[in-house]
């Protein structure tokens, strides 16, 4: 089965379940090779690209899931949960999506929907794109799906999965080139 990745302004669908994330939607069809509940031990041994997270808990939100979409080269750390309370879907309060920077390099999103100067967070280039915060560091694009204020705070606390809490005190490395 071929895995398709499509972005649409307005929400997130993971494996066919509609999930509202802030004001943005992303459609992600996870293929047969996707792993939900991917163990953190596997993430720490992962070497294909850099993985950033916020620890086992952030701002009172526990890490509730790690998704590894292997063929799409995407890893998602999910924090907190939601109660859909009806027929509609809902999103967890915070998700951190990591993918190789070549999937979403800074130039394309900035020219497409960004207005104003991008903020810099701990030495890394960032921008709000379609309501979501993107951070370009090392060899990856990190997208934070959350309310704007929470996304900015969380970006300031990103660290490699191989680092302890002290990793959030270090500067993020600039995006490596070529991306």
CA pair distance 131, 144, nearest whole angstrom: 10
Say whether pLDDT at 18 is over 60: no
- Does 87 reside within a domain? yes
The pTM score is 0.79
- Does 178 reside within a domain? no
Query: Mean of the pLDDT values across residues 35-63?
Result: 97
Task: List C-alpha distances in Å: 58 to 23, 80, 91, 133, 167.
Answer: 21, 9, 16, 17, 14
Q: Which of 16-25, 90-99, 152-161 has the lowest mean pLDDT?
A: 16-25
Which has the higher per-residue pLDDT, 11 or 175?
Answer: 175
Q: What percentage of residues in the chain have a pLDDT greater than 70?
A: 75
CA pair distance 176, 23, nearest whole angstrom: 30
- Does 23 reside within a domain? no
Question: Which of 26-30, 73-77, 86-90: highest mean pLDDT?
Answer: 73-77
Say whether pLDDT at 38 is over 60: yes
Mean pLDDT across the chain: 79
- Does 133 reside within a domain? yes
- Does 7 reside within a domain? no
Q: Which of 98-107, 109-118, 164-173 has the lowest mean pLDDT?
A: 109-118
- Does 150 reside within a domain? yes
Of 128, 89, 136, nearest to 110 (Cα)? 128
- Does 26 reside within a domain? no
- Does 14 reside within a domain? no
Cβ–Cβ < 8 Å for 157, 54? yes
Q: What percentage of residues in the chain have a pLDDT greater than 90?
A: 57
Range of the domain at 114: 32-169
Task: Count the domains in the chain.
Answer: 1
pLDDT at 1: 30
Say whether pLDDT at 117 is over 70: no
Q: Which of 78-82, 95-99, 105-109, 171-175 has the lowest mean pLDDT?
A: 105-109
CA pair distance 25, 144, nearest whole angstrom: 12
* Lookup: tokens for 177: 């080139």
CA pair distance 12, 131, nearest whole angstrom: 13
CATH code assigned at 81 = 3.40.1000
């Amino acid at each position: 089965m071929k895995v398709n990745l499509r972005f649409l302004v307005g929400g997130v669908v993971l494996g066919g379940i509609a999930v509202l994330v802030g004001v943005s939607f992303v459609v992600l069809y996870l293929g047969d090779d996707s792993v939900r509940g991917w163990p953190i031990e596997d993430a720490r041994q992962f070497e294909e690209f850099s993985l950033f997270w916020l620890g086992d808990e952030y701002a009172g939100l526990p890490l509730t899931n790690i998704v590894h979409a292997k063929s799409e080269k995407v890893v998602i750390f999910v924090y907190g949960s939601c109660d859909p309370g009806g027929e509609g879907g809902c999103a967890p309060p915070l998700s951190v999506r990591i993918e190789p920077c070549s999937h979403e390099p800074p130039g394309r999103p900035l020219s497409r929907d960004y207005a104003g100067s991008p903020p810099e967070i701990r030495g890394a280039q960032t921008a709000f794109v379609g309501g979501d915060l993107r951070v370009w560091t090392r060899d990856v694009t990190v997208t934070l799906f959350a309310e704007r204020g929470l996304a900015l705070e969380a970006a300031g606390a990103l660290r490699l999965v191989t680092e302890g809490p002290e990793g959030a005190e270090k500067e993020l490395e600039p995006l490596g080139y070529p991306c």
